Amino acid sequence: MATLYLQDIRKSFGPTQVLHGVSLDVADGEMIVIVGASGCGKSTLLRIVAGLETQTSGQVVIGGQDVSGLEPADRDVAMVFQNYALYPHMSVFGNMAYGLKIRGVPKAEIERRVKEAAELLGIGALLERRPRQLSGGQRQRVAMGRAIVREPKLFLFDEPLSNLDAKLRVQMRAEIRRLQRRLGVTSLFVTHDQVEAMTLGDRLVVMHGGHAAQIATPMEIWAKPADTYVAGFIGSPAMNFLRGTLSHGGVVATLPGGVSVPLPGRAGADGNEVLIGIRPEHLRPGVGGLSPVIELVEPLGSESVLHGRLPDGSPLTARLPGAVHPEGALALTLPPESLHVFDAGSGKRIEAVA
Amino acid sequence: MRKVHFKGIALPYLLLLPQLVITGLFFFWPAGMAVYQSFLREDAFGLSSQFVGWENYADVLSDPTWLESAARTGVFSVSVAVLALGVALFLAVQADKHIRGADTYKTLLIWPYAVAPALAAVLWLFMFHPNIGIFGRMLNALGIPWDYRLNGGQALTLVILASAWKQVSYNFIFFLAGLQSIPRAVLEAAAIDGASPMRRFWTVVFPLLSPTAFFLLVVNLVYAFFDTFGVIHSLTQGGPGKSTETLIYRVYTDGVMNLNLGSSAAQSVILMIIVVVLTAVQFRYVERKVHY
């Protein structure tokens, strides 16, 4: 158990820079989820923490000790890989005991710790099996077990659930969370799945193009996304964006069709270009707002997702209660308190001034 | 494998025919002749032959010089195999690291395999001949009496070196492919588990290479048993004395030089049985015992 501190981590592969200075401060026992689309540098960041890659510049500090130049072996971290990376020629017991043997832990102690971890994960009966005789979920547990027995300062998860089927993924997700809370080990969890990120993390790091676009709790990120990328990435279906121009002293945005949208507060000088974001579930039926033409209705039982187009041709998605909605013209209002305002140029969030 | 369905049975057999003819003509016929010949004994002038049953085999197996040859072949084959495998594994591990010019390095290492055994022997002769060989002269200049034409131990060492050198490239290709098929994440997991590079090699890499290594061991033994004739013939002709005479070389000496066809045929059949056993062991072991 330990804290983790990353200071301005940069990484280049030849001329290509993949990390543009990421800093992160992780408290003891905290679960941090690094989430982003593929190629955003999230796995590279994790591998730098593990010591499998060397950062071009910056510092990695684990438990107050600068480990920037140390080998993976000397960092006292454990990692769970996407394809589990079990040793195929060793039994489950052998896989879990390997790290302990290397550290010279006495035999009786190894046996005790492996048995304990195996019971915790419900794989006590499988200790003599080899990895190829196990199902995906069981392999996943062995990989977790291998990490747990080491009692490391830090757990690193590199998309460990992406090779499981949907049902098992949900189950393992909950199990990982329970286990992490129970053991209280500081953890970094990399995923591209926003649902995993929202449910697992104490805090999220949303990565975009080698930057940490936002570091905050899941609810904070959902309620106050820092920029249009984060806003569009977190939440499903994705947030709608409408281009508008500020007027009336910056408290109203005028859309291209001439519709005026009152904002929750002053968002800048008149004439400024802004992007108004609204989540599909926040749109309400009612006159005086948008008038899209609905082209497709996806009933989900208690609610429906409606896909349509605004008169100017831009797409719009709404999520409304009820299973039966007709296609065709529809009137929707934009509740001011649910609107997000972003700068049209930089994409950064503009906080409303009351 | 893609399955192809033929309408008649003529075409499939026609397509198999060339392979079957070649196998029959160049393997089953001569092998059958050898078996037949091994039960016959010719008179001293080669004018008549008579059926003698297992007598040729009994003679061969009770001949102390043959048994010596067999023991020598054992030493020779194991030395060649161990040396060729060891060097190839070392080189493959080096090539597997991401070094600059790795491709050139790999290509160069594969060359010796394309060299004919007799040429390989000449190459080693130029290096170790006591009068004209670079290293041979060097050794003598350093006061080490080196002449493989007189010293049996030196002769055996030289044919072992030359034979192993030929086989290194073959082993290298297989080891390199084996190494590259080990998932990188498994090695990274071992590194995070705290294993030093040496320890990673012996506890993870080598066990995962063991099917390859076992396959190559059998191939190398078969090579040392049968394919080293050219090297031995060009370098030492089995001498000095009988110090480099392996079983295969003895088949040649007895059959071609001494024209003792019956005994030579019986020896060939024994060698054939050895290779069949080796191959059978390989198939059984590789399929059953190697677990992952």
Residue A158 in this model has a pLDDT that exceeds 60: yes
- Distant-in-sequence, close-in-space partners of A242: CB < 8 Å, separation ≥ 6: A255, A261, A275, A276, A277, A278, A290, A310, A314
- The label of the residue with tokens 């005994």 reads B263
**Bridging pattern class, strands A203-208 and A31-35:** parallel
Task: Taking residues A70-81, report their average pLDDT.
Answer: 90
Task: Provide the Cα torsion A36, A41, A44, A49; round to 10°.
Answer: -70
- Cβ atoms within 10 A of the Cβ of A324, count? 7
- What CA–CA distance (Å, rounded) separates A30 from A66? 19
Q: For chain B, what is the mean pLDDT?
A: 83
* Annotation: CATH topology of A4-232: Rossmann fold (3.40.50)
| Mean pLDDT within B259-270 | 83
B47 CB neighbour count, 10 Å cutoff = 7
Inter-chain touch A150–B193, beta carbons under 8 Å: yes
CA distance A303 to chain B (A): 43
Of residues B154 and A304, more confidence is placed in: A304
Q: Which of B98, B187, B193 to mutate to test the interface with A (most CBs of A within 10 A)?
A: B193
Structure confidence at residue B288 as a pLDDT band (50, 70, 90)? low
Q: What is the pLDDT of residues B208-242, one digit of tens each?
A: 888 888 888 888 988 888 888 888 888 888 778 77
Q: Which residue has the higher pLDDT, B26 or B98?
A: B26
The residue that leads in pLDDT, B145 or B165, is: B165
Residues 6+ apart with CB under 8 A from A334: A261, A276, A278, A282, A283, A289, A290
B209 has a chain A CB within 8 A of its CB: no
The pLDDT of residue B99: 64
Nearest Cα residue to A113 out of A216, A35, A183, A24: A183
Asked if B195 and A73 come within 8 Å (Cβ–Cβ), the reply is yes
Q: What are the boundaries of each domain within chain A?
A: 4-232, 240-343
Q: Would you say the CATH fold of A240-343 matches that of A4-232?
A: no
Answer yes or no: do A88 and B208 touch at CB < 8 A: yes
Contacts of A82 in chain B (CB under 8 A): 185
pLDDT at B273 over 50: yes
Query: Would you state the pLDDT for residue B287?
Result: 61
Q: Does the structural domain A240-343 have CATH classification 3.40.50.1400?
A: no
Q: How far is B89 from chain A (nearest CA, A)?
A: 19
- Is residue B292 very low, low, confident or very high in pLDDT (cuts 50, 70, 90)? very low
Backbone angles phi, psi at A6, to 5 degrees: -110, 130
Tell me the pTM.
0.77
**Alpha carbon of residue A275 to chain centroid:** 24
Which domains does chain B show, CATH number per domain? 54-288 (1.10.3720.10)
B100 — pLDDT class (breaks 50, 70, 90): low
Least confident span in A163-167, A275-279, B202-206: A163-167
Average pLDDT over residues B29-57: 79
pLDDT band at A206 (very low <50, low <70, confident <90, very high): very high
DSSP A214-261: EEE-HHHHHHS-SBHHHHHHSSSSPPEEEEEEEETTTTEEE-TTS-EE
* A13: amino acid identity, one letter: F
Nearest to B279 by CA among B222, B212, B209, B210: B222
Shortest distance between the Cα of B138 and any Cα of chain A, in A, equals 46
pLDDT of A60 higher than 80: yes
Give dist(CA A41, CA A13) in Å, integer. 11
Q: Pick from B185, B193, B208: which is nearest to A102 by CB?
A: B193
State the pLDDT confidence band at B119, using cuts at 50, 70 and 90: confident
A79 to B203: CB separation less than 8 angstroms, yes or no? no
